[in-house]
């Protein structure tokens, strides 16, 4: 079978050159015996709908979508599942048997799989602090609230955005908001950094004492998570873990939507953590 006979998948984004998704899906393909090819496609900011259309018209089977196109992917899909609707964004696209464009987002499932299965963290009855109120946070709130935390406090540099999210997600569980300087010290079992502050070498301007004894998680991975994780440990966090597990688990969820097989993830997470 030549490469072009293989089922075609891709991640579309801008930038996308450094995406590790092709490597992850190639590992999944080898492990499961599902014969497919997965590549990264750089799409110009104003060319996204055309690029998606072209990909599926030429026989492509499924797409992952990354920054800055997740909202556009959601908007152009004909069928959207509940997760995508809550997130207002999609990271997974495929055509159904009637050739309709379907959208889902697997980020929330990926995060929860990493936290509750890989890290063995039980969120039920715990206080959870989520920092940030951008697309990354919006994509995981529904799944976090589904695990019945006692209280989920969302806090963001620009408070209004956190207020808005707390309102929008109030039907999914106990969610409140607080400004960075007024986060109540209620003992957080889990603190998630969903901001992009680390990309600027910064940590969110909250009181470090809030992290004492907490499990701290950064949704970014590798060097991009280091600033926050080092700061968390310095402030007495019980554990500090980056988002490489979330990355691999969200990929596994997309793979299982497309191929109906869920690949094993542990070895890939370990090897990415070492690299």
**Closest separation in Å from C-beta 193 to ligand ATR:** 9
Instruction: Enumerate residues 131-150 that contact ligand ATR by CB under 6 A.
Output: 132-136
Among 102, 195, 254, 265, binds ligand ATR (CB under 6 A): 195
Q: With CB under 6 A as the contact rule, which of the stretches 46-54, 103-111, 189-197, 261-269 interacts with ligand ATR?
A: 189-197
226 near ligand ATR, judged by CB under 6 A: no
With DSSP H G I counted as helix, E B as strand and the rest as coil, what are the percentages for the chain, rounded to 5? Answer: 45, 20, 35
Q: Which residues contact 55 (CB under 8 A, 6 or more apart)?
A: 8, 10, 12, 41, 63
- Residues recorded for the chain: 275
- For ligand ATR, the binding residues in 53-72 under the rule CB under 6 A are none
| Cα 214 to Cα 98: distance, rounded to the nearest angstrom | 48
Choose between 39 and 226: whose C-beta lies nearer to ligand ATR.
Answer: 226
By CB under 6 A, tell whether 204 contacts ligand ATR.
Answer: yes
Site for ligand ATR in 157-176 (CB under 6 A): 157-158, 161
Applying CB under 6 A, the span of 49-57, 110-118, 155-163, 207-215 interacting with ligand ATR comes to 155-163
In this complex, which beta carbon is closest to ligand ATR, that of residue 88 or of residue 148? 88
Burial 52-88 (b: 16+ CB within 10 A, else e): beebbeeebbbbbbbeebbebbbebbeebeebbebbb
Contact 70, 90 (CB under 8 A): yes
Active site residues: 70
Q: What is the DSSP string of 233-255?
A: HHTT-SEEE-THHHHHHHHHHHH
| Distance from C-alpha of 33 to C-alpha of 27, rounded to nearest angstrom | 10
Q: Which stretch binds ligand ATR (CB under 6 A): 11-19, 44-52, 153-161, 260-268?
A: 153-161
Question: Whole-number minimum distance, CB 204 to ligand ATR, in Å?
Answer: 4
- State the Cα–Cα distance between residues 163 and 176, nearest whole angstrom: 8
Q: What residues line the site for ligand ATR (CB under 6 A)?
A: 132-136, 156-158, 161, 195-197, 200, 202, 204
């Amino acid at each position: 079978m030549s490469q072009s006979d293989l089922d075609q998948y891709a991640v579309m984004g801008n930038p996308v050159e450094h995406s590790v998704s092709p490597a992850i899906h190639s590992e999944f393909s080898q492990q499961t015996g599902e014969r497919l090819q997965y590549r990264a496609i750089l799409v110009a900011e104003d060319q996204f709908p055309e690029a998606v259309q072209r990909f599926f018209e030429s026989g492509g089977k499924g797409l992952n979508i990354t920054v800055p196109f997740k909202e556009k992917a959601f908007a152009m899909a004909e069928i959207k599942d509940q997760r995508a609707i809550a997130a207002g964004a999609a990271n997974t696209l495929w055509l159904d048997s009637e050739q309709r464009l379907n959208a889902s987002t697997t980020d929330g499932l990926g995060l929860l799989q990493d936290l509750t299965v890989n890290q063995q963290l039980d969120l039920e009855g715990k206080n959870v602090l989520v920092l940030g109120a951008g697309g990354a946070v919006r994509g995981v709130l529904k799944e976090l609230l589904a695990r019945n935390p006692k209280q989920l406090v969302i806090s963001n540099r620009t408070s209004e955005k956190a207020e808005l999210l707390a309102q929008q997600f109030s039907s999914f569980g106990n969610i409140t908001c607080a400004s960075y300087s007024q986060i109540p010290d209620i003992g957080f079992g889990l603190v998630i950094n969903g901001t992009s502050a680390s990309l600027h070498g910064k940590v969110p301007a909250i009181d470090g004492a809030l992290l004492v004894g907490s499990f701290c998680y950064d949704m970014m991975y590798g060097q991009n998570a280091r600033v926050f994780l080092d700061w968390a440990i310095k402030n007495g966090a019980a554990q500090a873990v980056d988002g490489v597990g979330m990355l691999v688990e969200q990929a596994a969820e997309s793979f299982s939507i497309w191929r109906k097989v869920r690949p094993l993830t542990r070895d890939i997470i370990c090897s990415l953590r070492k690299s």
